[in-house]
Amino acid sequence: MHLWQNPKSLSYRKLSSKTLLPIMKNNNDASGQSAQNRLYIKRGHVVNHDGMQQADVYIEDGTIRYVGSGADFVVPGGCRTIDATGKMLLPGGIDPHTHFQLEFGGTVSVDDFYQGTKAAVAGGTTTVIDFVIPQKGESLLEAYDTWRVRADSKVVCDYGLHVAITWWSKSVRDEMKILCQERGVNSFKCFMAYKGLFQVTDSELYEIFETCKELGAVAQVHAENGDVIAKNVQKLLEAGVTGPEGHELSRTEEVEAEAVNRACVIAHQTKTPLYVTRVTSKLAAEQVSQARRRGLLVYGETLASSLGCTLTNVKQNVLPYYVTSPPIRQDPETPRHLMKFLALDDLQTTGSDNCTFNKSQKELGRNDFSKIPNGVNGVEDRMSVVWEKGVQTGLIDPQRFVAITSTNAAKIFNLYPRKGRIAVGSDADILVWDPKEVRTISASTHHQACDFNIFEGMKCHGVPEYVIVHGRVCLENGVFRVAEGQGSFLETPVYPPFVYDALNGITDRNGDDKSARNGLQALDLNQKHDVDIPEPYALPEKYVPGPALSIVSGDSQLSTPHSARGHRPDGSKNMQQSTFSISEELDGGDKRSCIRVKNPPGGKSSGFW
């Protein structure tokens, strides 16, 4: 039995490759929140990646049980109600790229799994995917156990794990198979940089990608040319350039773009779906765009740091605090270009790569920029930064915001529709989002553990008024209610349909045409001064509830909506019909654990029957 597999944590049931929905531990945990297991959010503007609808949402035992106009729903007793009039309801953010408590550069990143996930929740992110990074020569399974022990007792929201492949051998290949088939891992990252530390060769990349394809896993890359960087660092230091400006000089945009293209070619040669992490420059984003447009199955991620910052006006004395790889760029146009690539679906996801170090730790590179620990904050700031740079500028609408901050990551890493959607049967990870509220980002108020914030002073529209995690109100008007360990490890099953169906030329699970550009603006990438950018999206003035939202299609594992039962076929309301919810086991069992009858026409219910 592994370190973390004590009875308290999780009972793993073998995941069939068909199982879409990760298995979660029950919700009656230590946080004391299970008493409040019913929540009704009324009159909100529900936004999913593929539609917006004014509707009420009912949550019970951490799962969404009803989405609809409310006309056919009687709020059960003991239920808390939140009035979301004038606010949006968004799926909780999913950050596919964090590094909590990472040993790196001779030190350890200061956000651990408690502080880091607490900061995530504070900013509206309710699921994170962190990286197991074994040292060269270290067993992947042992490294995985180490991360589980660090995380399971601390996380305040659900989390998954990618695994980095920092060296290559038959034993690594064998352990990848175990990780996929028995540990709930479905993605592996290769570093093309950090020569001598994490970097692998092209032929190793080729074989690792082949193994990912055989396992139904997603191959990821950190794309920079590590050999060129090593030479540049040596040359800069020898020329006496030891300050932090040497970091970006040693790894310019073309050093990133070359590696992105090389990774796309190797993935195409091995017919492996590829996820390019943290694209930071226009040149690199163009490589992803061109690869996708020539039919390669490549997904691109960019970061809050690249969307919200440039080095243009950063003073020399604070430059070390902005050191991350690939670098935050000099070009002031970069944030807008990257947001346009997201608007055009040339890039699909936004992450944070939250790997925070305090100023004192960054001083380790005082006399040699290559010794500055790489990494910056972002896990708490991402949602507001993306809203400000995307929706507030008119480049994307709220649906696209949901896609790039939540749904696309859920689909690529096979957490959808349990995560990344507001629909019956999905986890109740929901934000009551105020698009008009403005907040100023600052290290003096953030929840990240670091003593510096790269977005210091940035004003952002778009603030979570409530953050609901598994049906628990964890953040309410700035007041936090979280408990260490209330989150769970999320198994990410192999063969994500969104990826592997597409690889086999099938449209994705929802029947969306892979090339569908729903909700996207038709922007001209090269037009310098966009003249026809629409006004920023604004909520309709009048509240006109629409019909119930479409239920997640085709998955019998999700509970059926009661509203369908509240009316006769001719649509008239059946007044004899009691209003009830079915608490069905979401793992697809056809048994009904209970039918709760609430306030039937004859009076109070006795509870279950």
Please answer whether residues 273 and 221 qualify as being in contact, where contact means their C-beta atoms are separated by less than 8 angstroms: no
Q: Smallest Cα–Cα separation from 352: which of 423, 416, 441?
A: 441
> Which residue's beta carbon is nearest to the bound Zn ion?
353
| Letter string b/e over residues 435-458, b meaning 16 or more CB atoms within 10 A of that residue's CB | beeebebebeebbbbbebbbbeeb
CA–CA separation, 328 and 577 (whole Å): 59
The entry of Zn ion, ligand URQ, none near residue 470 (CB within 5 to 8 angstroms by kind) is none
586 burial (CB, 10 Å; 0-12 / 13-18 / 19+) is: buried
Token pair listed for 562: 């009661």
Token pair listed for 471: 């049906």
CA–CA separation, 507 and 523 (whole Å): 24
Residue 250 or residue 325: which is nearer to ligand URQ going by CB? Answer: 325
Token pair listed for 188: 């592996």
The entry of ligand URQ, Zn ion, none near residue 321 (CB within 5 to 8 angstroms by kind) is none
DSSP 522-543: ---TT-SS-S-PPPPP---SS-
DSSP 145-162: HHHHHHHHTT-SSEEEEE
CA–CA separation, 307 and 336 (whole Å): 7
The entry of ligand URQ, Zn ion, none near residue 325 (CB within 5 to 8 angstroms by kind) is ligand URQ
Interface mask toward ligand URQ for 99-128; x: CB under 6 A: x----x------------------------
Residue 305 or residue 492: which is nearer to ligand URQ going by CB? Answer: 305
The answer to whether 421 contacts ligand URQ (rule: CB under 6 A) is no
Binding-site member from 115, 374, 384, 448 for ligand URQ (CB under 6 A): 374
Residue type, 270: T
Q: Strands, DSSP E only, in 74-212?
A: 80-83, 88-91, 93-98, 103-104, 107-108, 125-132, 158-165, 187-191
Secondary structure class of 345 (helix, strand, coil): coil
Residue 29 or residue 353: which is nearer to Zn ion going by CB? Answer: 353
CB of 208 to Zn ion, least distance (A): 17
The answer to whether 488 contacts ligand URQ (rule: CB under 6 A) is no
- The span of 39-47, 345-353, 395-403, 593-601 binding Zn ion (CB under 5 A) equals 345-353
Interface mask toward Zn ion for 351-380; x: CB under 5 A: --x---------------------------
Please answer whether residues 347 and 286 qualify as being in contact, where contact means their C-beta atoms are separated by less than 8 angstroms: no
Question: Rule CB under 5 A: which of 164-193 touch Zn ion?
Answer: none
Binding-site member from 68, 246, 308, 375 for ligand URQ (CB under 6 A): 375
> Which residue's beta carbon is nearest to the bound ligand URQ?
374
The entry of Zn ion, ligand URQ, none near residue 287 (CB within 5 to 8 angstroms by kind) is none
Question: Rule CB under 6 A: which of 219-278 touch ligand URQ?
Answer: 222
Question: Rule CB under 6 A: which of 337-366 touch ligand URQ?
Answer: 353, 355
The entry of ligand URQ, Zn ion, none near residue 581 (CB within 5 to 8 angstroms by kind) is none
Element (H, E) at 436: strand 430-440
CA–CA separation, 486 and 113 (whole Å): 12
Residue 82 or residue 217: which is nearer to Zn ion going by CB? Answer: 217
CB of 353 to ligand URQ, least distance (A): 5
Residue 158 or residue 224: which is nearer to ligand URQ going by CB? Answer: 224
- Residue that has been written with the tokens 């390019």 in this structure: 276
CB of 108 to ligand URQ, least distance (A): 12
Q: Which residues, in sequence order, are CB contacts of 352 under 8 Å at separation 6+?
A: 95, 97, 98, 303, 304, 305, 377, 378, 379, 381, 382
Element (H, E) at 474: strand 472-476
Residue 130 or residue 465: which is nearer to ligand URQ going by CB? Answer: 130
CB of 365 to ligand URQ, least distance (A): 12
The entry of ligand URQ, Zn ion, none near residue 189 (CB within 5 to 8 angstroms by kind) is none
The answer to whether 188 contacts ligand URQ (rule: CB under 6 A) is no
- The span of 15-23, 193-201, 257-265, 350-358 binding Zn ion (CB under 5 A) equals 350-358
The answer to whether 224 contacts Zn ion (rule: CB under 5 A) is no
CB of 302 to ligand URQ, least distance (A): 13
Binding residues for Zn ion (CB under 5 A):
353
Binding residues for ligand URQ (CB under 6 A):
99, 104, 222, 324-325, 353, 355, 374-375
